[in-house]
Structure 1
Amino acid sequence: MRKLVAFEPASLDLTSQAAGATRELHASRPSRHLQPGDECLQLFGGYCYMMECPLPRRRADARVQRVSSTPSCGRPTGQAAKERGSDMNEQNREENVVQWRVESGVGHIVLNRPEAANALDSACGHALVEAIGQARRGAGTEVRAVLISSRGKQFCAGGDIREFVERRHDLDQLVRAMLDGLHPAIHALATLPVPVVSAVQGPLGGAGISLALCADLVLASPAMKLRGGYSAIGLSPDLGASYYLARRAGAARAKHILMTNRPVSADDCLRWGLVDELHGADELLPAATALACELAQGATASLGGIKALCDSAFDHDLRTHLELEREALLRCAVSAQGREGVSAFVEKRAPDFASRRPD
Structure 2
Amino acid sequence: MNDQTISFDVRNHVATIVLNRPEAANAMNIDMAKALMHAAIECDSPNVRAVIITGSGNVFSVGGDLKSFSQQRHQLPSHLKEVTTYLHAAISRFSRMDAPVIAAVNGVAAGGGMSLAIACDIVIAAVSARFTMAYTKVGLTPDLAASYFLPRLVGFKRALDLVLTNRVLSAQEALDLGLVTKIVPDGEVLAQANEMAAQFAEGARTALGEAKRLLHSGWNESLETQMEKESQTIAKMAQTPEAIEGITAFLEKRKPDFLR
Q: How does 1:288-327 map to 2 (within 5 A)?
A: 288-327=193-232
Shift of 1:308: 1.0
Question: Identity over the aligned pairs, expressed in percent?
Answer: 37
**Residue number among 97, 102, 106 corresponding to 2:5 in the alignment:** 97
Corresponding letter in the other structure for 1:275: V
Shift of 1:199: 0.4
1:112 alignment partner in structure 2: 20
**Residue number among 126, 130, 140 corresponding to 1:225 in the alignment:** 130
CA distance in 2, matches of 1:128, 1:300: 22
Q: TM-score, normalised by structure 1?
A: 0.70
Corresponding letter in the other structure for 2:84: L
Shift of 1:181: 2.0
Q: How does 1:154-193 map to 2 (within 5 A)?
A: 154-193=59-98
Residues 204-245 of structure 1, C-alpha deviations (whole Å, 9 max, x = no match): 111112211111111101111111111111111111122221
CA RMSD of aligned residues (A): 1.4
**Residue number among 107, 112, 132 corresponding to 1:207 in the alignment:** 112
Shift of 1:169: 2.6
Greater share of helix: 2
Q: Which runs of 5+ in 2 are unaligned?
A: none
Number of residue equivalences: 260
**Residue number among 170, 180, 186 corresponding to 1:275 in the alignment:** 180
Corresponding letter in the other structure for 1:180: T
Q: Is the 8 A contact 1:228 1:257 kept in 2?
A: yes
Q: How does 1:46-195 map to 2 (within 5 A)?
A: 95-136=3-44, 138=45, 141-195=46-100
Residues 311-341 of structure 1, C-alpha deviations (whole Å, 9 max, x = no match): 1112111111111111111122111111111
Q: Which one has a bigger Cα radius of gyration?
A: 1
Q: Is the 8 A contact 1:99 1:131 kept in 2?
A: no
Q: Is the 8 A contact 2:59 2:109 kept in 1?
A: yes
Corresponding letter in the other structure for 1:135: C
Shift of 1:180: 2.2
Corresponding letter in the other structure for 2:198: C
**SS in structure 2 at match of 1:271:** helix
CA distance in 2, matches of 1:281, 1:213: 19
1:46 alignment partner in structure 2: none
Shift of 1:149: 1.0
Corresponding letter in the other structure for 1:323: E
1:284 alignment partner in structure 2: 189
CA distance in 1, matches of 2:52, 2:79: 28
CA distance in 1, matches of 2:223, 2:156: 22
CA distance in 2, matches of 1:247, 1:261: 18
Shift of 1:96: 2.6
Residues 94-144 of structure 1, C-alpha deviations (whole Å, 9 max, x = no match): 8131111111111111111111110001111111111111112x1xx2011
**Residue number among 135, 145, 158 corresponding to 1:240 in the alignment:** 145
Q: Is the 8 A contact 1:206 1:241 kept in 2?
A: no
**Residue number among 143, 167, 181 corresponding to 1:262 in the alignment:** 167
Shift of 1:154: 0.9
Q: TM-score, normalised by structure 2?
A: 0.96
Shift of 1:195: 1.0
**Residue number among 330, 339, 354 corresponding to 2:235 in the alignment:** 330
Shift of 1:305: 1.7
Structure with more contact order per residue of length (Cα contacts < 8 Å, sep ≥ 6): 2
Q: Which runs of 5+ in 1 are unaligned?
A: 1-91
